[in-house]
Structures are given as structure tokens and as C-alpha cells.
Amino acid sequence: MAVAAAGVRETCEAAKRASRELAIASTEAKDAALSTAAEAIEARAAEILAANAEDVEEARSGGLDSALLDRLTLDDERITAIAAGVREIVALPDPVGEEVEARTLPNGLELRKVRVPIGVVAVIYEARPNVTVDAAALTLKSGNAIVLRGSSYAERSNAVLAGLVREAATGLPEGSVSLLSGGREELAELATQDGLVDLVIPRGGEGLKAALKEVATVPVMYAASGNCHVYVHEDADLEMAGRVAFNAKVQRPGVCNAAETLLVNAEVAAQLLPTLLADLNGAGVELVGDERARDAAGGAAVGPATAEDWDTEYLGLKMVVGVVDSLEEAIEHVNRHGSGHSEAIITASDEAADEFTGGVDAAAVYVNASTRFTDGFEYGMGAEIGNSTQKLHARGPIGLRELTTTKYVVRGAGQVKE
């Protein structure tokens, strides 16, 4: 691959040059490139699948575990989904040029604050070839050049997919899409390209996050883990509480907006827990809890929780259950142990809802709904590149707008400062 052969610095320099032109590329040019890419992905499915089969074969003999192998593996259905995802991004409005504010200043200056691309965005991700295309489509649509840095496990799949997107993007500047390979050293090199790389988005686990924190000097937007809670207040509709808690845990336990902890007000613990915990057991959920939760569990199997359980993102069929005496205690628990992702309260009272949504420090706070809704598609933002749990720039789903910055454009008639 010519792409992979270029050094990190050269690749980033080419991306920076491309980004200057991409910033002023028309929506039509960007959409045309993405539409062509979607067609090419479907038309050349056989080629993609062949490359992917080699990756999967090698990863399997290399001992990659079955969950990761599943994420790495493509099939016709997944390829169709990838192409459909690109078409959805084509259909979204272009955020570039959007006017955020406009006003005439007392001295007559016409001030406009407009959305502009960030510049060069580097995306670092695991062995999920679909991310190659998703990330490229989102960054190109928002007018950014992209430097992709995938996993070596997916090297062949990524090369074909990135190559396809690049070929489709002939109407966009050379250097708009590049793919890097290499190890930890190249990762560190990429994360220190000050002045060339404007943003790094890691899509991976806590290990990748820690590695980047150590070395990065360019801005990084962490799409981080979710240790999410469902708190059932004393006045909750208990049928609803059970339904929501069950959904938040069981519907798709491997994702960041799934709940890991159930907190129940002491006044309703004995009434709610026996049925709900038995249902969770029935769905294969391993439960641990504090003493009061275990006492109120009825016939359900609930082991003793350790101190670490409250801080653990299980990403699987396990849940920790605690009993609290008050709303305040619940809020304090969530703020101490949560990762600032998605938190829910079940309550019949507007007052309790306001106190919870005001007091809990998280990207998304739900009243009488499952934490599972934190998602760019659900929120009506279209596709997303991840969920930010940090507070600066983007908090929650990272969609097209979150891949832009702003610029003040100020027009005058010769005004000077007095």
C-alpha cells in the first residue's frame, strides 16, 4: 500500500494541505464523493470480503478472541450496512458554513460566527473495519481531512476500504483520506504532530486512552467508557422502573450506554427487587449487591458486592445493586462512581426529577427512560463517531457538528479601534 508506506509526518503534512482546500469544498463535491464511495463499497464487495477473510484467518490463528473476531468479520449484510451508513451521512445537512450567531456591533461591524471544519482529524481505532468507512464519511462530510490508524488485525480490510473511499474522492483534494499502520511508536508520533493534526479521536478501551494521555500533545477527544446507573426513587411507578432497569441492562449489555448499577430507594426496595432481580437472573444477569439489596432480593441470586464493583463497567451480563436512603445519597453515589455518560432516575415527581437532572454531572440524564438512548441516531443528529464523556467541546454523541469549530468573520468599512 502506497498509503501505509508514507511516514507519519509526511502523511499528516499532506492531510494538512488537503484540509485547507477541503474547508472550502462545496457540499455537492463532498456528497458526490461519498455517494460514489457507497456505490463502490457495494460493487466491490467481493474484493472487500476476500481481504477481510485473510485478516480473519490470520487473526484467528493469532488467537484473537471470539468477540473481537466477530467485530472484525465482514459479510454481505454488514457491507450493505456500511454503504447504507454512508448514504445516511450524505443525506444529513452539511454543518460547514452554518451561522451560529450574527449581530451588528455598535461601531457598525457586521459580526458572524460560522461553523468551519476543525482541519485534520486522526481517528485511532480497533479491529473494526466498518469504522474505517464511518469515520472517513463523517470527517469528510464535515470538511475535515482524515488520518485513519486502524488495528494491524484489520490491515487488509482497512487498506481496501480506505482505498475505495480515496478513489471515490477524486473530486476532493489529494491527501483528504489516509491510512497509517504501525505500532505504539507511530501512535506516539501521530499524537504529537502539533500544528498538523488538529484533533485525535481514539475509539478504543481504557488502555488506548491511558496510552494517549501519556504521550499526546495535540488535542484529544475521548469517547470513553460508561459506568451508567438507574436510580429508582421512592415514588416511582415500579412496573416502569423494572421495565426500564431491565432494558438498560439487558437489551445490549456490551455497549457504553448500558446500565451497570441499579440503585433503589430503601422505601421501595422490598417491593421492587424480588421480581426485578429474578427477571434479571432469568435473562442471565449475574447480580452482586450491598447487604440491604441482598436482604431485599427475595429468591433472586445476589452475591456480595466488592468496593470495585461500584466503579466497574462490566460491558456484559453483570449488575451491581445498591439500596440508598435518599435522592441526595443517590446523586452523590452517581457523581462519585459514574463516568459521566448516561444516568437515569425513575420517579413520579417533577421535583425529584429536577433535583436529579440538576445534581448529576453527566453527558445525558434521563427521567423515566432507559440510559440506552444516548446515541447520535436516537438524538436525531444522524451518525456519530462516538460518545464524549468529557466536558470540553463535545459532550454526548459526537456527530457532524461536533467535528467542526467556529470562526468569527467580521466585516467593516474601515473601522479602527479608538
Residues that bind a second copy (CB under 8 A): 20, 23-24, 103, 105, 107, 109, 111, 113, 118-119, 198-199, 213, 217, 219, 221, 237, 240, 243-244, 246-248, 251-252, 335, 353, 357-359, 361-370, 372-374, 378-380, 390-393, 395-396, 405-417
Report yes or no: 122 and 139 within 8 Å, Cβ to Cβ: no
Dihedral sign (CA 6, 51, 252, 64): negative
164: how many CB neighbours lie within 10 A of its CB?
24
Rounded to a whole number of angstroms, the minimum distance from the CB of residue 219 to a second copy is 5
Rounded to a whole number of angstroms, the minimum distance from the CB of residue 271 to a second copy is 17
Nearer to a second copy, 45 or 197 (CB): 197
Nearer to a second copy, 170 or 251 (CB): 251
Report yes or no: 249 and 285 within 8 Å, Cβ to Cβ: yes
Rounded to a whole number of angstroms, the minimum distance from the CB of residue 365 to a second copy is 5
User: Rounded to an integer, what distance in angstroms lies between the CA atom of residue 203 and that of residue 130?
Assistant: 12
Rounded to a whole number of angstroms, the minimum distance from the CB of residue 109 to a second copy is 6
- 154-1-119 Cα angle (round to 5): 80
Report yes or no: 1 and 124 within 8 Å, Cβ to Cβ: no
Rounded to a whole number of angstroms, the minimum distance from the CB of residue 105 to a second copy is 6
Nearer to a second copy, 2 or 392 (CB): 392
User: Rounded to an integer, what distance in angstroms lies between the CA atom of residue 75 and that of residue 17?
Assistant: 36
User: Rounded to an integer, what distance in angstroms lies between the CA atom of residue 47 and that of residue 41?
Assistant: 9
Nearer to a second copy, 164 or 172 (CB): 172
User: Rounded to an integer, what distance in angstroms lies between the CA atom of residue 87 and that of residue 81?
Assistant: 10
Nearer to a second copy, 17 or 44 (CB): 17
Rounded to a whole number of angstroms, the minimum distance from the CB of residue 36 to a second copy is 25
Rounded to a whole number of angstroms, the minimum distance from the CB of residue 213 to a second copy is 6
Residues whose CB falls within 8 Å of the CB of residue 334, separated by 6 or more in sequence, listed in order:
229, 231, 263, 343, 360, 362
Nearer to a second copy, 49 or 221 (CB): 221
Nearer to a second copy, 219 or 274 (CB): 219
> Under the phi-then-psi rule, with left for phi > 0, alpha for psi from -120 to 50, and beta for the rest, what region is 183?
beta
